[in-house]
Amino acid sequence: MVDADVRLGLSGSDLAIRNKTFHSALTMTPGTLEDISHRFLIVVAEHGLQDSVVDYLNCNGIPSFTVNADAVEACLRIAKEINGYDLLSDCFGVDRLGFSTPHRFEVVYSLYSIEHADRIIVRVALLLDEPCPSAADVYPATVWPEREIYDMFGVEFTGHPDLRRILMPDDWVGHPLRKDFPLGGEEVEFSHNVREQESK
């Protein structure tokens, strides 16, 4: 059996760099869940935004805070500039239709601190037609995923530098990842469908 590293085309120097990076990451000592949570909440409170954090969850050991839409940019700026979460590792939308929550959508920002090897999640709870302030000024990498959330879920991002569809055509009606988006359209061709059509 061929080694996985060989199949990936990694040279000896690539492997050495990867192993060094991996082992240095193992020696880092990330803070405990309580440390991370307290560090973030203390700074939020110092800026008078404690009422903007409306919920807290432990997502498999990663602290997750739900914040009001009007305070998301300030909370993300605190997370980046004061708490050191300098890397946006993901940004995506969630449709909560069918769940027992008062809000319909969530915009989720997954953040990572390279220095402390910590992760934190900031969620924004949104009603059906409630806009969300763009995080592009804080994390420029959100420009593309926020466009995808707008395209797929219909969430408007105020202050976004270029908010337009990114996957669907400009004249497409609706938002395909909404749970109430009607399914249907042209039947997908499988071998049994093609055989049936040819026999007619």
**Residue 71, SS3 per DSSP:** helix
56 domain-assigned: yes
190 domain-assigned: no
110 domain-assigned: yes
The answer to whether the beta carbons of residues 105 and 123 sit under 8 Å apart is no
Domain that holds residue 120: 31-143
113 domain-assigned: yes
Report the pLDDT value the prediction gives residue 84, as an integer from 0 to 100.
93
Report the pLDDT value the prediction gives residue 188, as an integer from 0 to 100.
66
The answer to whether the beta carbons of residues 126 and 69 sit under 8 Å apart is yes
Report the pLDDT value the prediction gives residue 183, as an integer from 0 to 100.
80
Residue burial 33-45, b: 16+ Cβ < 10 Å; e: rest: eeebbebbbebbe
Report the pLDDT value the prediction gives residue 134, as an integer from 0 to 100.
97
Averages of pLDDT over each 10 residues, the chain, 200 residues: 47 51 43 74 90 89 92 96 94 94 95 91 95 97 97 97 95 93 74 62
The answer to whether the beta carbons of residues 67 and 55 sit under 8 Å apart is no
Of 168, 175, 184, 183, give the one whose Cα is nearest residue 95: 175
Give the single-character DSSP code of 79.
Answer: I
Give the chain's domain count. Answer: 1
35 domain-assigned: yes
Alpha-carbon distance of 68 to 126, in angstroms, equals: 8
1 domain-assigned: no
CATH number, domain with residue 84: 3.30.460.80
Report the pLDDT value the prediction gives residue 38, as an integer from 0 to 100.
80
67 domain-assigned: yes
167 domain-assigned: no
